[in-house]
Amino acid sequence: MAGYNSTNIKLEYDVTVGGALQDITAIVKSMGPIKVTGGMVETTPFGVAFPEFTTTGMKPYNDVTLEFPFDDTASTGSHALFGTVGQVKSFAVTYGGTKKTSGETILLDYERPPVVGSPHLSKATLRWTGTVTEA
């Protein structure tokens, strides 16, 4: 069984809407987990003591938060990549050398919280939309 760590991951994000994926691994300092859940709704009828659920067939993925140093370099800095909330761009994560999660994401939010005595780290939250491919 192969073991992987943070040195075995590759993160890619669209440079522009509909553009080519760019390797952003070197700028990302942390990433929230990628988690898929089985979509379901509660269908408990009256008179039943324990909840019942029915699957919907949907497989929602959680939002992913990326943290990175703030960089306002035109067209290549983190602000150029994540500064426009609401855009739909491709995002891909490759684990090790073979396992990959990819799909379209909506840039849900982008924050730049300055902290005294510390580098300014920004955060962007991506929401998966449409088909997410697990290869």
Measured CA to CA, the distance from residue 63 to residue 105 in angstroms comes to: 9
Residue 51 has pLDDT above 90, yes or no: yes
* HSE-up of residue 11 (Cα within 13 Å, Cβ side): 19
Pair of tokens at residue 68: 């990175």
Pair of tokens at residue 25: 């691994």
pLDDT, tens digit (0-9, with 9 covering 90-100), for 55-97: 998 888 999 999 999 998 887 889 888 989 999 999 999 998 7
Quote the pTM value: 0.85
pLDDT, tens digit (0-9, with 9 covering 90-100), for 124-133: 999 999 999 9
State residue 9's pLDDT score. Answer: 93
3-state secondary structure of 81: helix
- Long-range contacts, stretch 39-48, CB < 8 angstroms, 24+ apart: none
Beta strand ranges found along 15-87 (DSSP E): 21-23, 30-31, 40-42, 53-55, 64-69
Measured CA to CA, the distance from residue 36 to residue 43 in angstroms comes to: 21
C-alpha torsion sign, points 83, 86, 88, 90: positive
Task: Considering only residues 97 and 104, tell me which one the structure prediction assigns the higher pLDDT.
Answer: 104
Say how many domains are in the chain. Answer: 1
**Residue 123 domain flag:** yes
Average pLDDT, the chain: 91
**Residue 32 domain flag:** yes
**Residue 1 domain flag:** no
What's 48's domain CATH number?
A: 2.30.110
Residue 68's domain spans which residues? 6-134
State residue 43's pLDDT score. Answer: 95
For residue 49, give every residue at least 6 positions away whose Cβ sits within 8 Å of its Cβ, in sequence order, or none: none
Through-space distance between the first and last CA atoms of the chain, rounded to whole angstroms: 18
